[in-house]
Structure formats: structure tokens, C-alpha cells
Amino acid sequence: MQNRSIRLLVLLFCAVGVLALYLYAQQPREQINVNVYREQTDLTDRWWVQYQLAEPVTRLEFIRTPDQSRVARWSPESGEFMIAVAANGNEYIQRVDQQPFQFVSFELTPTYTYLEQDYAPFSPYSDGGMAWFSGRFKVCPESCEFAGQFRFYFTMQSAPTDSIVIPTESATEALSWYESADDGLMVYVGEQRPSQSGMPLLIDQGIPASLQSELRNSLEPMLNYFAARLGALETAPMVFASYSSTSNGRYGNQGGVIGSQLFVHWYGMALEDRMIEPTFVNDTLWFFAHEVAHLYQRNLFDNDHAWIHEGSAEWMAYRYLESIGVSASYLESRLARAERLCAEANPDDRIRQDYACGMLLAKRIDEALLREYPFGIYYFWQEFLARSNEHSEQYTVFQETLEELTHHQFASALLRSAP
């Protein structure tokens, strides 16, 4: 009888907890209005962001602070405001006199800047277009400790000839939409119009024609390859590819996946010069294969164990390039590079740990599974995805899936060597 009472009490507490979460989810979330404006001429390209709040606040804290570059790159329209850095490293907006406010406006620096731990705020197109990342502009009144309670009403305004494009809709001159406190969206503003059928492509016309052709011809077969192994995507991805010069001598490329959007930005040295490098085409294919792999991972990311999705995406890129006949010498060089970077990585070097060491771990999983399952690492991800949901503890599901598809000894040894 006592055990039965305890079980009933546990069930009651669980029911109360579920009800509390449900009631919290049903509560109206506080809305923050974020207005982004663009004014472009032949000589200038000026951008502003304005925040409008329903109630006065003493500060607005940014959800994402990969560095403190807003301090230099955002200029308050009024000298009464400033951007400061808190003791925890997060940037925030406040009045100089620390009095409450409901409205604030900043002029922005709309140029490409490399952020190692986040997406670039602006990715310029050589024809005057722009892709910008909405997550850069999300703030919380006072503190972001409970950021999920806020929703953001974005409005983008630009020239009457400009298209404004997000995954769900597009318009000319002005567009408004809602977002939660999650990552954000890439927003295109410019004269290009996305295709109305197939995969929406927003490719910078300043990119060399041969590279544009390579992108258009390679992406569809790449998507088909992953769909055959991990199931078709619900919606076709929106692809951004842009290029801009730099004044500091740096060059490279950066990109990623947000939801159903895949983007890459090349910066610095002229692409025509870089394309003559022996590995440029294969490096570009590897980059896109890695990012396409993320699309098919269905946002199943665990930032505390990022080696799982980053390492798997690296190894899937290897497997894809192998499938289309890329030279063995190139693939061997990528594998050797991962082995070297992993061996040199220190515990604080998350990039090398997650990408290089993660790739080697994914390779071990693939090799173990191929003895029994023809799709190897892809079969593992099929099972991992099938057993996961938004409420599951992903690392636990990963561990359980690995043990079931291999065996306990293999899984334990692999996880002990993981970052």
C-alpha cells in the first residue's frame, strides 16, 4: 500500500509539472519590435536598427554575444545611449544616465566581419544586395536568463525596387514577420528574385560564372545523395552564396545552416585568383556537403557534444566526395589533416575537437556499422533521428543508439575518447 501511495504521489507531481509547463507555454510572450531600415545610394549604404518596447526598461541584453564588436560597429542615434559589456561578457544597451527607456535607435556598419563563434551579421553581395542574420539583433529586457518568453516582431524596410526574402515569404520594399528567441534567419535584401519552383537560389552574380555553374550543377545531386540515405527534406533549402572584398588582407569563406537555409560568403582575395588553387573546387564541394549533411541532421544539435553532429557532417562530406569520384589523394589529405589537427588540439580548442576529432570518431562508427549495415554512418543517423525528439536528452539517445547498433564495449571505448 505504501509503495502504491508513493507511485501515485510521483505521478501527481509529474502531472503538476506537465500542467505547469503547458500553462507557461500558453502564456502570451512579451513582444519586442525590431525595425531594420536600409537607405542606399550610388555612394552610400546606410542601415539602422530600432527597438520599440511596450514597457520601460533599464537595459536590453543581447541574446548572442560572440565578441564585443557591437561596441565599435553600432553607433547610437542619440548620445544618451551606449552599448556596454557586462561582467559575464554579454553586450547590452542602456542609457548613459541609466534611466528607463522604451525606444532606441542605432546606425549599423553593414560590412562583412568574421565571427569565429557565430554567423556574420552582414554578408554583402557584389551587386549591392545583402544577406543579414536576424539572430544578431535579438535582445531581452533587463536579462536573457529566460529568453524563451520573448518573441520578436521584425520589420525590414528598403528601396521600392528591393526584394526582401525569408523562407516563408517575400515582398518588395517592406516585410514583417515574427520570430522566437531561437537562432534566427538569414534575410536577403536586394534586386534578385528567388525562383518560384525547385530550390530557391540567391547566388551573387559577381561570383565567377564557372563557380556559379558548379554550384547549380552540384547541389541537386548532393541533395539527392543525402535524401536517399536520410530521407527527403520537407522543404527545399534556400541557398545563399555571396562575395565581398576586404580591406585588411584577410580572405576565406564562412557559412552554415540555419533551419532550411544554407549560406556561404566568400571574402577577400578575388575568387578568380583563388579558383586556380588545386583544391579549390574540392574544398568547395566539401564545404557544401558538410552543410547539406547538417540539413539532413534535421537540427538535431547538442552544443555540449558538438562533435557528434560536426564530426558526422565532416565524415559524411568525405563519403559524398568519395562517391562522386574525387581523387583518393585529396581524400587522404583531408583525413591526414583531421588526424594531425586532432592530435594537436588542446581541451579548450572546441573547433578542432568537434570537427577533426569528431570526424575520426564518426569514421570509427561508420567502419563498425558497415560490417552489418550497408549505409553505415547514415543508418546510424536514421536510427538516431527516429529515436530523438525535442524533449529527449540527445546525448543519452546517442549513447543508447550506439550501444544497440554496435555493442557496449565499442560504444564505451569510443565515448571515453570523445571530446
pLDDT one-digit tens code per residue, 54-82: 999 999 999 999 999 999 999 999 999 99
Residue 109 DSSP SS3: coil
Q: What is the pLDDT of residue 21?
A: 37
Q: CB–CB of 243/207 below 8 Å?
A: yes
Q: What is the pLDDT of residue 407?
A: 93
Alpha carbon distance 294, 202 (integer Å): 20
Task: Please say if the pLDDT value at position 308 is more than 70.
Answer: yes
pLDDT score of 18 more than 50: no
Question: Would you list the DSSP string of 338-390?
Answer: HHHHHHH--TT-HHHIIIIIHHHHHHHHHHHHHTT-TTTHHHHHHHHHHH--T
Domains annotated on the chain, with CATH:
30-110+125-189 (2.60.40), 201-280 (no CATH), 306-417 (no CATH)
pLDDT on residue 105? 98
> What's the average model confidence in pLDDT over 221-250?
92
What nine digits make up the cell of 66?
Answer: 560572440
User: Residue 387: its pLDDT value, please?
Assistant: 94
Q: Which of 141, 145, 170 is nearest to 158 (CA)?
A: 170
Nearest 10 degrees: CA dihedral of 336, 340, 342, 345? -160
pLDDT per residue as tens digits for the range 364-416: 999 999 999 999 999 999 999 999 987 789 999 999 999 999 999 999 999 99
The dihedral formed by the CA atoms of 365, 367, 370 and 375, expressed in degrees to the nearest 10: 60
Mean pLDDT of 12-18: 44
Q: What pLDDT is stored for residue 5 in this prediction?
A: 52
Helix (H) or strand (E) holding 311: helix 307-323
For residues 37-65, average pLDDT: 96
What's the pTM? 0.88
Q: Is the pLDDT of residue 16 over 60?
A: no
* Amino acid 22: pLDDT: 39
Mean pLDDT of 327-352: 94
Name the band, by pLDDT with cuts 50, 70 and 90, for residue 29.
low
Work out the number of other CB atoms within 10 angstroms of the CB of residue 194.
15
Checking if the pLDDT of 9 tops 80, the result is no
